[in-house]
Homo-oligomer: A and B are copies of this chain.
Amino acid sequence: MEDKIINEQDLENWRRTHYSHQVNGSTIDKLIIIMGWISSKRDHGNVLFIQLRDKFGDIQIVVKKGKENSENRVFDILKNLKEHSSVGIKGKVVEQKKSPNCVEVIPHEIKVLSVSAKSAPFLTNSISTIGIDTRLELRALDLRRNYLQNIFRIRFTILNSVREFLTKNHFIEVNTPKMISTATEGGAALFPIFYYDKEAFLAQSPQLYKEQLTMAFENVFEIAPIFRAEPSRTNRHLSEAISIDIEKAFVNYYDIMDLLDELISYIILRTKEVNSIELKNLDIELSEIKIPFPRHTYSELIDKLQKSHKYIRWGDDISPKILKDVIGDDFYYIVDWPLSTKPFYVKSKINSDAAVSKSDSPVDSSESENMMVSESFDLMFGPLELSSGSTRVNNKNVLLDSMKKKGLNSAAFDYHLRVFDYGIPPHAGFGLGLERLIMALLKVENIRDTTFYPRDIDRLTP
């Protein structure tokens, strides 16, 4: 019996009449068709208890070895089907106080739609005990696990709430090209492409395009993949990630931080409304957050850190590890970073005109330039960087000067610089990593479990 081959059948005219959550007291005595995969199976010899899972949950199927041929056929098939197999069940709903939704289904007919030929390494209710790499090899199956189901349902709510919030705030969604001719941030960590007969790269961010689009649309956002040839093997880096990018005209980085505060607040509000069940399943309590989030200047933090870490100097990047010593485990900003640590398009905090005239002067001003501060922020959650934003340079001469200082070949950016001849408004914006935001909100340890099919230096499949 164990090895008996069960033939898969075509769907033909069978269609689901009810999803699992629609099978309840109101459907008692009705003949229904349900479809799904076997999430668990208890075999009591002549009685089988099957949990059939669909996208809304489980429904209990009870089948006994019976007197009639049709009953026995269903019994034999279900007895031999492994968990994860997909079936259609035509059956009657009966009351069953002990089952979770107070009903169960007595099958009359079964259609085997897809047989699980192997014993799966995990079931839908498995808590992860095997390594993530083993799970990722069977990712589609892994995603059937309750833990990941909860995460990805919340992920959908987060995306929806971002779009709702930005639409209400007069943003328009755009899509910018992912195949580009030059590096935005200077060349490191790019994936090269063969673009017909030309060299090209995958976009690390939509930065220059979203800035340009403020010319025509003022407030734009994009939710799309970004690509970084990130050599590090960590729990918080991906080679392909989803970035929530916004850019807004006629504002500076303070306005953008206000907006980001409200966005995060709205995401949490909506997630609590929509996903109370999933949050409970994950044992996550999203507390009320207080905005504005604290804004610490970079210089203040360096001063504090120097008390315990004497080797740190103004101008250094701040490593997440040492941040723990001075900051709590919640949302906060680090603002006014040294200009030298930021890309060429980030605006200096002093007046732009002054910056240009200084660089034109024959006096060596490299010392004071190294001390220049930028109109920039990072949104952090404990040691995790979630978002980076800034006021951008919108004057062509300042931008050219900044590129020169960063050692970039401005000729390669001609396609970008040329629109700065036509009155591009002042603008500011941020990029927010979707996966990292999910990690922060849901306490997910490995960023790979916040994305469907993670990509990293070691992984290109599935």
Contact = CB atoms under 8 A, between A and B. Distances in A.
Interface of A: 7-8, 10-11, 15-16, 19, 35-38, 54-55, 82, 84-86, 88, 113-118, 120, 137-141, 143-144, 148-149, 152-153, 156, 159-160, 163, 167, 170, 172-181, 191-196, 198, 200, 202, 209, 212-213, 215-219, 224-225, 227, 229, 231, 239-240, 242, 249-252, 255, 351-353, 394-396, 415-416, 418-419, 421-426, 451-453, 455, 457, 460-462
Given A113-B250, A113-B426, A173 B144 contact: no
Nearest to A412: B461
22 contacts: A8-B353, A11-B250, A35-B249, A37-B423, A54-B218, A84-B422, A113-B394, A113-B425, A116-B423, A118-B421, A120-B422, A138-B422, A140-B213, A160-B167, A175-B451, A177-B455, A180-B461, A191-B193, A191-B194, A193-B202, A196-B231, A225-B225
B415 A461 contact: yes
Contacts of A170: 19, 55
Nearest to A144: B216
Number of copies: 2
B178 A156 contact: no
Contacts of A198: 460
B419 A195 contact: no
A240 B179 contact: yes
A388 B299 CA distance: 57
Nearest to A202: B193
Contacts of A213: 140, 143, 452
B37 A425 contact: yes
Contact of A16 (B35, B141, B250): B250
Given A55-B218, A116-B423, 19 more contacts: A11-B426, A19-B170, A116-B421, A116-B422, A117-B421, A138-B419, A141-B216, A144-B215, A152-B217, A156-B173, A160-B173, A174-B452, A175-B242, A192-B193, A193-B202, A209-B452, A209-B462, A212-B462, A224-B225
